[in-house]
């Protein structure tokens, strides 16, 4: 069942269950104003990039924001990542960005961001944040949740409210001062100075992560040679 309400002026569509909030958001993107948010209690087919599955049982925050910026910009993922980092900080959790689209705490993934869209029409900023949801056995070594980190169940509604507030703030920064957005991304990107491997299909490139450039790409030092890795469907592994 669909319920609609507003928090601080934002229209929120609440669903008990959906395949993916990103998919749902796409189907309504044309009819709703920018800023409309879709939140589901659980997703039956939550997705990461390249169709990888995203585990989304009840207790987590699974949401998509419909945005209508001038163009589909991969840097919108950073708007989401910084808003997650700030939200976690509000609950006493210190986190960092793992370029290009994850938020990690103590070597584990707590949140993933998925930006999709149609040029000239809309962008969907999908955010998955593990709050009180159980982490399945097979992800235990690589994933964590706010509940696991704090040892207490968190008020999901408060987490959503904070996240929406920070999203609003960082989206404005993105539109008006993208340079400031990227400066903050650099500050929060914990892989800088570290050895990483970029995986692009069958190709693997290893080097030291040097910088995140203003267009969102990653600058790698490969044995003294600089290479720019464009944000796309590349994956990144820490050594």
**Shortest spacing between CB 226 and ligand BTN, in angstroms:** 27
Contact with ligand ATP (CB under 6 A) among 10, 15, 28, 139: 139
- Report yes or no: 185 and 179 within 8 Å, Cβ to Cβ: no
Total residues interacting with ligand BTN, rule: CB under 6 A: 21
At CA 180, angle to CA 179 and CA 184, rounded to 5? 120
156 forms part of the interface with ligand ATP (CB under 6 A): no
At CA 147, angle to CA 146 and CA 152, rounded to 5? 130
Contacted entry of ligand BTN, ligand ATP, none for residue 43, CB cut-off 5 to 8 Å set by kind: ligand BTN
Give, to the nearest 10 degrees, the angle between helix 76-90 and helix 156-176: 140
112 forms part of the interface with ligand BTN (CB under 6 A): yes
Contacted entry of ligand ATP, ligand BTN, none for residue 236, CB cut-off 5 to 8 Å set by kind: ligand ATP
Which of 227, 220, 199, 187 has its CA nearest to residue 78? 187
- Report yes or no: 28 and 18 within 8 Å, Cβ to Cβ: no
95 forms part of the interface with ligand ATP (CB under 6 A): no
Name which of 5 and 138 has its Cβ closer to ligand ATP. 138
Stretch that binds ligand BTN, among 67-75, 126-134, 210-218, 223-231 (CB under 6 A): 126-134
The Cα–Cα gap between 234 and 229 comes to 8
Of all residues in the shown chain, the one whose CB is closest to ligand BTN is 112
C-alpha distance across the termini of the chain, in Å: 45
The Cα–Cα gap between 33 and 3 comes to 16
Contact with ligand ATP (CB under 6 A) among 14, 55, 68, 168: 55
Contacted entry of ligand ATP, ligand BTN, none for residue 235, CB cut-off 5 to 8 Å set by kind: ligand ATP
- Alpha-carbon Rg of the chain, whole angstroms? 17
Stretch that binds ligand ATP, among 45-53, 156-164, 165-173, 184-192 (CB under 6 A): 45-53
The Cα–Cα gap between 88 and 109 comes to 13
Name which of 6 and 50 has its Cβ closer to ligand BTN. 50
The Cα–Cα gap between 189 and 13 comes to 32
Q: Which residues bind ligand ATP (CB under 6 A)?
A: 48-49, 52, 54-55, 101-102, 109, 112, 128, 130, 139, 143, 235-236
């Amino acid at each position: 069942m669909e319920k609609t309400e507003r928090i601080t002026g934002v229209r929120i569509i609440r669903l008990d269950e959906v395949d993916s909030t990103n998919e749902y958001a796409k189907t309504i993107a044309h009819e709703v104003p920018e800023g409309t948010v879709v939140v589901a209690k659980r997703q039956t087919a939550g997705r990461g990039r390249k169709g990888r599955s995203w585990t989304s049982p009840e207790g987590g925050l699974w949401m998509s924001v419909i945005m209508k910026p001038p163009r589909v910009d991969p840097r919108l993922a950073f708007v989401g990542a910084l808003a997650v980092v700030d939200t976690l900080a509000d609950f006493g959790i210190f986190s960092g960005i793992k370029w290009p689209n994850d938020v990690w705490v103590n070597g584990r993934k707590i949140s993933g961001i998925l930006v999709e869209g149609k040029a000239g029409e809309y962008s969907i900023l999908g955010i998955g944040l593990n709050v009180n949801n159980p982490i399945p056995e097979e992800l235990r070594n690589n994933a964590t949740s706010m509940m696991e980190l704090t040892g207490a169940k968190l008020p999901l509604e408060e987490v959503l409210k904070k996240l929406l507030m920070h999203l609003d703030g960082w989206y404005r920064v993105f539109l008006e001062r993208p340079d400031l957005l990227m400066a903050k991304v650099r500050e929060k990107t914990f892989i800088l100075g570290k050895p990483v491997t970029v995986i692009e299909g069958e190709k693997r490139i290893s080097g030291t992560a040097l910088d995140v450039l203003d267009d969102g790409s990653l600058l790698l030092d490969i044995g003294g040679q600089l290479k720019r890795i464009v944000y796309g469907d590349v994956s990144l592994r820490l050594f």
